[in-house]
A and B are shown apart, each in its own frame.
Chain A
Amino acid sequence: MIITNNLTKKYGDFTALDQLELSVKEGDIYCLLGANGAGKTTTINLLLGFIQPTSGSAFINQLKVEENPLETKRFLAYIPENLMLYPSLSAVENLDYFSGIGGKSLNKSQLEGFLEEAGLQSGAFHKRIESFSKGMRQKVGIAIALAKDAKVLLLDEPTSGLDPKASNEFGHLLQKLRGKGVATLMATHDLFRAKEVATHIGIMKDGHLKQQFVASDISLSQLEKTYLETMDYKTLVS
């Protein structure tokens, strides 16, 4: 579903992403870990077609992103770190709009069904987004992905700022989407959540993918140790 071949992005002399080789298959949840500036968000922006690669290529559902910017977006849903929706519109109205511009025309009960599936309480369906917490907005974001029937989900720090309960609920939602065969690429700082939900984990540093694991092959403490070592935080490890 998601493939990158030697994907590179340079800004002048600065290399934000260097020859990234990545593959996220159907039903995989791939968590990219790394410090700020490691290249996680650059990877997501390249997959979204928001920026163009300096070299290499990215594919979504076998379509080259650079050559098919609109077509590839039909298969994906994106939830940024701070998902912002239209504050004067309700959850249903936001979902109706975003699924509408994604090409889906849904009736009221279908829209409510997706919100329910995303875990939003029914009392909030018709409330304006301006009164929503970040966790509630993330649920609407998941509902957008569900309504769009997205094959690929790109998440950029989706759990940052969420309380443990909301973060846990979000993890469950990702598992639910995994069950539907959605390929998820999630950039995060949250090692615990990554270990909880991921099928695969990669650690990035200075634009390079330094380490890759199958999540089930590594414990949380091993992950933490490897991460800190990769980040050159050796003093803290001892």
Chain B
Amino acid sequence: MIRKTIKKEIKELFRDGRVRISIFIVLLLLGVAVWISSRQYQNTNQDYAAARLSEREVWDNQGEKNPHSAAHYGTYAFKPKYPLSLVDQGVDKYAGTSIFLEAHKRNEAQFSAATDQTGLSRFGDLTPDFILLFIMPLFIVLLGYNSFTKERELGTHSLLKSAGARGWKIVLGKWIALFLPVLAITTSLLLLAGIVLSNLPDYGVFQWSSLVAMGLVYLLYYAVFTNLVLWVSHWAKRSGISLVVSLSLWIVACLAAPKAASNIAEARHPYPTRQEFAANVLKDKEAGLDGHNPWNKEAKLLEEQVLAEHGVDSLHQLPFNFNAYRMQKGEEHEAEVYFKQYNYLKEQYQKQSGTYRSLALLSPFLPARFLSMGIAHTDYATHWDFSDAAENYRIATQKFLNDNTAQNTKYGERGYKASADFWKQLPAFDYDPPGLDKVLENNSSNLMILGMWTVLSFILLFISTKKI
């Protein structure tokens, strides 16, 4: 019975001109979106590779130079575009691609793609995630809104009821028939993306397991929509009503809820303004050691402490250059200040994410969106992780440079220059994003909420349609 219903529904769907046109449009959009994204992915990563190589060459070829001058001269940490960003670009466009690493200061990522675009970019880009997150649920609405109402409108409902068909079997048949085209399109898209990524220069680590995980997330998301659309169709008396209610659900779930969640999260847990943030950093910095200023209170305290530790009376008697040592201690203090202030931002981000998660109970879009971005490494969590990794590298670099000065000079000695080959000893910045296991672990609540949506919507559908 289930197989017969699937066969019948599929035949009806594909003999309907509107459905054929819808499928053609979705496939065309997907093809174009994958092509555009793969071009962007290639171009960005070519730029990334060239910039990374060029910046390293500049660093390695500084010649003889004072290490602290090199620290101020700085270098860049570049964020690569990860393979699955081809499918879901997430917040990449707004998050910045490179961080300038210099002495005394933690900088934010800059050169985001959005800053290079005009106001027209507000209209958004045609990307696979746009199709997957917004268009596919709409496609489900268009395909399924009259699944049950047509039976009543055609008059086949009474014949179905009199045939002795079990309600759940008819519902399951209709469910599978509606889900099959969605499954076919999603699988085709992800397969296409996988083939494209497997054949492109691999700048990140492309793993089929991540692509499969992403596919499963989207399929769960579509299962929820399929359940809701069929439930509405069963409940509604006419196809027109079913279409309006299903479209309203789509608008609330995909358009209104994410924007409302964003506003609510921002209102409940606001980020400080840039001015406030800069003022807080400055205040904390001034309350501690300034590596450049040997006369401030903390520098004098450090001096006394170090002399006591080494049992000497003069800085000249120390086995290292105290100026460089103080500089390093100053760096460590500044790093603590930045970690504290950035941790506050991170806490706010975590609280905002928590608010989002609680509002995800209102829309399956939110957990699906977060999971998709997480798996694609294009979410804010990955950006924070990259930013922290860059900061740790900056701190390690400053220590590398200050230690060199401390070990190779005496207190009061000026004009020291490290040798030309010294710079090459600094390991290159290399960032590995969290693996799939870690991403799923971090997004366990999103997985749980999406799973809950799926289970509850199935229960709702099958309980309410027990009798056809």
Residues of A near any B CB (own CB < 8 A): 48, 50, 70-74, 76-78, 80, 82-89, 93, 96-98, 100-103, 144, 148, 154
Per-position binary interface string of chain B over residues 46-64, scored 1 when its CB falls under 8 Å from any chain A CB and 0 otherwise? 0000000000000000000
Q: Is the CB of B162 within 8 A of A76?
A: yes
Q: Is the CB of B164 within 8 A of A89?
A: no
Q: Across the interface, which residues of B come within 8 angstroms of A93, CB to CB? A: 8, 11
A206 to B327, CA, bound (A): 104
Q: Is the CB of B158 within 8 A of A78?
A: yes
Q: Is the CB of A101 within 8 A of B156?
A: no
Q: Is the CB of B164 within 8 A of A88?
A: no
Q: Given contacts A73-B162, A97-B8, A103-B164, is CB(A86)–CB(B16) below 8 Å?
A: no
Q: Is the CB of B12 within 8 A of A103?
A: no
B428 → A minimal CB distance (Å): 63
Interface of chain B, main secondary structure? helix
Q: Is the CB of B4 within 8 A of A101?
A: yes
Q: Is B5 an interface residue (CB 8 A)?
A: yes
B198 → A minimal CB distance (Å): 40
Q: Given contacts A86-B154, A88-B12, is CB(A102)–CB(B159) below 8 Å?
A: no
Q: Is the CB of A88 within 8 A of B11?
A: yes
B164 → A minimal CB distance (Å): 3
Residue of A83, A97, A148 ringed by the most chain B CB atoms within 10 A: A97
Q: Is the CB of A102 within 8 A of B158?
A: no
A77 to B166, CA, bound (A): 16
A96 to B4, CA, bound (A): 8
Q: Is the CB of A85 within 8 A of B156?
A: yes
A81 and chain B: residue at smallest CB distance: B155
Considering the complex, which residues of chain B in the window 139-182 have a beta carbon less than 8 Å from any beta carbon of chain A?
154-156, 158-166, 169-170
A144 to B159, CA, bound (A): 10
Q: Is the CB of A100 within 8 A of B162?
A: no
Q: Is B1 an interface residue (CB 8 A)?
A: yes
Q: Is the CB of A86 within 8 A of B158?
A: no
Q: Interface residues of B, CB < 8 Å — how many?
A: 24
Q: Is the CB of B154 within 8 A of A84?
A: yes
Q: Across the interface, which residues of B come within 8 angstroms of A102, CB to CB? A: 163-165
B55 → A minimal CB distance (Å): 63
19 contacts between A and B (CB under 8 A): A73-B164, A78-B159, A80-B159, A82-B155, A83-B159, A84-B156, A85-B154, A85-B156, A85-B159, A86-B156, A87-B154, A88-B16, A98-B159, A98-B163, A100-B1, A100-B3, A101-B165, A144-B159, A148-B163
A106 → B minimal CB distance (Å): 11
Q: Is the CB of B162 within 8 A of A78?
A: yes
A101 to B1, CA, bound (A): 5
Name the contact of A80 in the complex, choosing from B5, B155, B163, B170 (C-beta under 8 A). Answer: B155
A80 to B157, CA, bound (A): 11
A53 to B16, CA, bound (A): 40
Q: Given contacts A73-B164, A89-B11, is CB(A50)–CB(B158) below 8 Å?
A: yes
Q: Across the interface, which residues of A come within 8 angstroms of B7, CB to CB? A: 97
Q: Is B122 an interface residue (CB 8 A)?
A: no
A30 → B minimal CB distance (Å): 18
Q: Across the interface, which residues of A come within 8 angstroms of B162, CB to CB? A: 48, 50, 73, 76-78, 154
A50 to B467, CA, bound (A): 10
A29 to B163, CA, bound (A): 21
Q: Across the interface, which residues of B come within 8 angstroms of A84, CB to CB? A: 154-156, 159
Q: Across the interface, which residues of B come within 8 angstroms of A154, CB to CB? A: 162
B167 and chain A: residue at smallest CB distance: A70
B153 and chain A: residue at smallest CB distance: A84
A102 to B4, CA, bound (A): 11
Q: Across the interface, which residues of A come within 8 angstroms of B164, CB to CB? A: 70-74, 101-103
Q: Is the CB of A101 within 8 A of B16?
A: no
A72 to B163, CA, bound (A): 10
B441 → A minimal CB distance (Å): 45
B165 and chain A: residue at smallest CB distance: A101
A172 to B158, CA, bound (A): 25
Q: Across the interface, which residues of B come within 8 angstroms of A88, CB to CB? A: 11-12, 15-16
Q: Is the CB of A101 within 8 A of B163?
A: yes
A85 to B154, CA, bound (A): 7
Q: Given contacts A82-B155, A103-B1, is CB(A89)–CB(B12) below 8 Å?
A: yes
Q: Across the interface, which residues of A come within 8 angstroms of B11, CB to CB? A: 88-89, 93
Q: Across the interface, which residues of A come within 8 angstroms of B158, CB to CB? A: 50, 78, 80
A119 to B440, CA, bound (A): 63
A56 → B minimal CB distance (Å): 21
A84 to B151, CA, bound (A): 9
A12 to B365, CA, bound (A): 46
Other 11 A-B pairs with CB < 8 A, given A50-B158, A83-B155, A86-B8: A73-B163, A74-B164, A84-B156, A85-B154, A86-B154, A88-B12, A89-B8, A93-B8, A100-B3, A100-B4, A103-B1
Q: Across the interface, which residues of B come within 8 angstroms of A73, CB to CB? A: 162-164
A198 → B minimal CB distance (Å): 22
B232 → A minimal CB distance (Å): 21
Q: Is the CB of A48 within 8 A of B161?
A: yes
A101 to B160, CA, bound (A): 8
Q: Across the interface, which residues of B come within 8 angstroms of A72, CB to CB? A: 164
Residue of B16, B158, B165, B169 ringed by the most chain A CB atoms within 10 A: B158
Q: Across the interface, which residues of A come within 8 angstroms of B170, CB to CB? A: 101
Q: Across the interface, which residues of A come within 8 angstroms of B16, CB to CB? A: 88
Name the contact of B5 in the complex, choosing from A101, A103, A144 (C-beta under 8 A). Answer: A101
Residue of A78, A84, A89, A144 ringed by the most chain B CB atoms within 10 A: A84
Per-position binary interface string of chain B over residues 293-309, scored 1 when its CB falls under 8 Å from any chain A CB and 0 otherwise? 00000000000000000
A19 → B minimal CB distance (Å): 25
A88 to B7, CA, bound (A): 13
B12 and chain A: residue at smallest CB distance: A88
